[in-house]
Amino acid sequence: MDTSEIYIKMCDCPEIQDDFWKLIEKDGKERRKRFDRFRGTKYSPRIPEISCPDVAVYDSGGKILKLTSLPLQDQIQEMCGFDKNFKAEIYDYVCDLYRFMGEINPLDYSSFEQLWLAFYMHKKHGKIWDGEQWTEEK
HSE on the CB side for 56, CA within 13 Å?
19
Confidence of residue 27 (pLDDT cuts 50, 70, 90): very low
d(CA 135, CA 40): 32
pLDDT band for position 133 (cuts 50, 70, 90): very high
Tell me the percentage of the chain whose pLDDT exceeds 90: 33
Confidence of residue 117 (pLDDT cuts 50, 70, 90): very high
Q: What average pLDDT does range 98-113 have in this prediction?
A: 92
**Residue 132 above 90 pLDDT?**
yes
Q: What is the DSSP letter of 127?
A: E
Q: What is the mean pLDDT of residues 71-100?
A: 81
| More confident site: 36 or 79 | 79
Break the chain into its structural domains and give their ranges: 5-131
pLDDT value for 135: 96
Residues 73 and 116 sit within 8 Å (Cβ to Cβ): yes
Is pLDDT at 77 greater than 50 in this prediction? yes
Strands 134-136 and 54-58: unpaired
Q: Please list, in sequence order, all residues whose beta carbon lies within 8 angstroms of the beta carbon of residue 49, skipping any fewer than 6 positions away.
A: none
State the DSSP code for 56. E
Relative to beta strand 127-129, strand 134-136 is: antiparallel
Average pLDDT over residues 6-16: 93
* Averaged pLDDT, 70-86: 81
- Tell me what pLDDT residue 16 has: 92
